[in-house]
Amino acid sequence: MAEEQKITIISVKYKDDEDARQRFMDFIIDFLLKDKSEEKESGSKEPGDET
């Protein structure tokens, strides 16, 4: 929950700076994708498995 708030605050901060905002979004997407791929490697591949 706290992570989402941080992202929102940073997005607002960079609202007027398109280039900085784009780099930030690239960083977030990269971070999220890396996080997901690590999850897949360590966890199960069954969609209905997590409870």
- CB within 8 A of 50, min separation 6: which ones? 43, 44
User: 37-49: per-residue pLDDT in tens?
Assistant: 766 665 555 566 5
Burial class from Cβ neighbours inside 10 Å (0-12, 13-18, 19+) for residue 34 reads exposed
Please, are residues 50 and 43 in contact by the beta-carbon 8 Å criterion? Answer: yes
What pLDDT does 45 receive?
A: 58
pTM across the whole model: 0.38
- CB within 8 A of 20, min separation 6: which ones? 14
User: 5-23: per-residue pLDDT in tens?
Assistant: 666 565 566 566 778 778 8
**What band does 29 get if pLDDT is binned at 50, 70 and 90?**
confident
> How many residues can be counted in the chain?
51
Residue 8: both structure tokens together: 């929102």
pLDDT at 32 over 80: yes
